[in-house]
Amino acid sequence: MIPPRRFPRSRLRRLRVSKAVRALSAEHHLAAHDFIYPVFVHGGRQAQEEIAALPAVCRHSQSSLLHIAEQAITAGIKALALFPAIATEQKTDDGREAYNEDGLVPQTVQLLKKNFPELAVITDVALDPYTTHGQDGIIDADGYVLNDATLAVLQKQALCQAAAGADMVAPSDMMDGRIAVLRDALEEQGFVNTIILSYAVKYASHFYQPFRAAVGSAEMLKGDKRNYQMQSANRAEALHEASMDVSEGADILLVKPAGLYLDVIAALATTCHLPIYAYQVSGEYVMLKNAARFLSEPHCVLEALLAIKRAGASAIFTYYALDAVQWLRDEGLV
């Protein structure tokens, strides 16, 4: 008989020994359906436009958007999130273009749903692309964003998006009470299946700068958004925000940014029982893009996305969506 050995009885390296065994023992996986692709659209002009602040991301015209939507669907991506770059002359103090039924967003939603009924279309509920001051709501004489006056406008905006056929309306404005107000309005108008994807936990982050350049609110923005978006020091407050949105009728909760707030995603995923999404924001994207000079971009991006999934997000908004699907297919990488 071979005498019993004391060490080692368990070799954890056994489950790391080959690609096949590693795949079988992986606790989390990334797949195309995990990704939501944020896309920018602009009105009027025919061509797509590059965005200096967001390398390799474009502002789309209607036709280039259809092309990219088709590419996304072919890749297995299930949802696009639409963000409009509104012409300066359409911006006003009160952001009323946000609920123009013939505006850029409703028109684009209709176009997408007509061509690709199977694609889920997500629209942003917030006023920043539409206001001359770049804030997400209506401001008073001191520039303070008025909560309840803003709710009334957000309600009109969300109804207009739902009527155009948006599958999910996604309030990203951080006003108090907006989920209840939107839910009531949607129910009352018969939009009983419109999903509310709440940006329940949105931090006042400096990582949104490239996005603001993309939608053209950066140069308009007066002040910052710290009196409505959350401060990055807080986590308990995030749980409170989330539970309020659950009780007000949200269907899905989102944490934003993602990579620097994995603890928040994890805390929400264990305490809330709604799906938790996360947004790898524009600043996270440009960090990785620029690091590509020094690091292997595909490996690092997939690792960053997997970390977000492992923390507990069931879907991820990412500007890397199309690349990530391609890289996942690339045998050598995973």
Nearest residue (CB) to ligand PBG, 128 versus 167: 128
Sites of contact with ligand PBG (CB under 6 A): 124, 126, 128, 136, 172, 208, 211-212, 225, 281-282
The pair of structure tokens assigned to 279 is 């947004």
Which residue out of 91, 202, 225, 289 is catalytically annotated?
202
**For the chain, what is the radius of gyration of the CA atoms?**
21
CB of 128 to ligand PBG, least distance (A): 5
Beta-ladder partners of 326: none
CB of 204 to ligand PBG, least distance (A): 8
CB of 233 to ligand PBG, least distance (A): 18
First to last CA, the chain: 42
How far is residue 209 from each of residues 90, 124, 127, 183, 217, measured CA to CA in Å?
Answer: 22, 17, 16, 30, 10
How far is residue 141 from each of residues 130, 138, 146, 229, 261, measured CA to CA in Å?
Answer: 18, 10, 10, 20, 34
Nearest residue (CB) to ligand PBG, 221 versus 334: 221
Nearest residue (CB) to ligand PBG, 162 versus 316: 316
Which residue out of 91, 225, 256, 289 is catalytically annotated?
256
- Nearest in space to 278 (alpha carbons), one of 239, 248, 317: 317
256 tagged catalytic: yes
Beta-ladder partners of 150: none
CB of 4 to ligand PBG, least distance (A): 58
Nearest residue (CB) to ligand PBG, 147 versus 334: 147
Residues recognised as catalytic: 202, 256
